[in-house]
Amino acid sequence: MLSAVLDLVLPRTCAGCRAKGSRYCGRCLAELTAHPARRLPRPRLPGTPDCWSASPYEGGVRRAIVAYKERGAVALAGVLAEALAFTAVTAIGGTGARWAGQRFAVVPVPSGRASLRARGHDPVRRLAALAARRLRAYGLPAEPWAALRQARRVADQAGLSSAERAANLAGSLRVVGAAKGPPVACVLLVDDIVTTGATLVEASKALRSAGVEVPLAVTVAATRRRS
C-alpha cells in the first residue's frame, strides 16, 4: 500500500538503470528479454531439470529483481513475468514436441514463512500466476498451480556450496493435495533466480514423488558461477 501511495507523489525511476520516467524503461526491458537461454548451474546437481533463464543476474536485471522481491516494487511483477513467459516459450520451442497440445501447470518455488512475513508478499507465486496468463495468450495451455509448500524450516543459504545447499534443503518441500492426485502430468517449474540449482532439484524431487513430470525450469535470472 505504501509503495502505491509513494508512486503517486514521487517521480518514477527505472528499477534497472534509475532513469526518470517509468518503473522499467524500454532499454532495460530489451536487456531483460534479449537473451533467453539454457543456463544450467555448474556443477549440475543430479536431478536438476533442464534450466533456462531470461538473463544473467547482474546489472539492471539484478536491481529490478531486488526491488521487486525485497523493496515492495510489486508493479514490476508484470515485466518480470513477461520475461519468464517469453523464456518459457523459447525453451519449449527448442526442446522438441513433448509439450505439443499438452496441458501443463506453472508451479512456483515457494518462499519460507519468515520470508513471506518480512516481504509482505509472495513474489514467485505472483510471477507464476502472471506468467501462466501470458503463456495462455501465446496459445499454450498453461495453468498456475501453487503445488509446493515448505515441510520444515531451512537455514539461510547464503555462502553455502552446492553440496551444502542440497543437504540443507533435503526433504524441505512437499506437494499440497497430492493424495487427490495432481491436476496435470507435466509441470513448468519457475523461480526468480537460479544459483546452484539445489532448490530446483528439491522442488522437482517433491513433484516427481507425486507422479508429476518436471522436464523444465525457467527463472528470470541465473547467477554466473565462479570457480
- Give the SS3 label for residue 106: strand
The pLDDT score that the predictor gives to residue 3 is: 45
Query: Where does the pLDDT of residue 121 fall: very low under 50, low under 70, confident under 90, or very high at 90 and above?
Result: confident
**Greater pLDDT, 189 or 7:** 189
Domains with residue ranges and CATH for the chain: 2-222 (3.40.50)
Calculate the average pLDDT of the chain: 82
The pLDDT score that the predictor gives to residue 220 is: 97
CA distance 186 to 210: 11
The pLDDT score that the predictor gives to residue 203 is: 93
The strand pair at 104-108 and 50-56 is best described as unpaired
pLDDT for 70 beyond 70: yes
The pLDDT score that the predictor gives to residue 119 is: 72
Alpha carbon distances (Å) from 14 to 23, 63, 142 = 4, 10, 30
pLDDT for 117 beyond 60: yes
pLDDT for 113 beyond 60: yes
Q: Which of 19-33, 46-60, 103-117: highest mean pLDDT?
A: 46-60
The enclosing H or E element of 122 equals none
How far does Cα 184 stand from its chain's mean position? 19
pLDDT in tens, 163-206: 555 555 555 688 887 656 677 888 999 999 999 898 899 999 99
Q: Is 23 left (phi over 0), alpha (psi -120 to 50) or beta?
A: alpha
In three-state form (DSSP H/G/I as H, E/B as E, the rest C), the secondary structure along the chain is CHHHHHHHHCCCECCCCCCECCCCCHHHHHHHHCCCEECCCCCCCCCCCEEEEEEECCHHHHHHHHHHHHCCCHHHHHHHHHHHHHHHHHHHHCCCCCCCCCCEEEEECCCCHHHHHHHCCCHHHHHHHHHHHHHHHCCCCEEECCCEEECCCCCCCCCCCHHHHHHHHCCCEEECCHHHCCCCCEEEEEEEEECCCHHHHHHHHHHHHCCCEEEEEEEEEECCCCC
The enclosing H or E element of 217 equals strand 213-222
**Greater pLDDT, 130 or 111:** 130
CA distance 16 to 46: 34
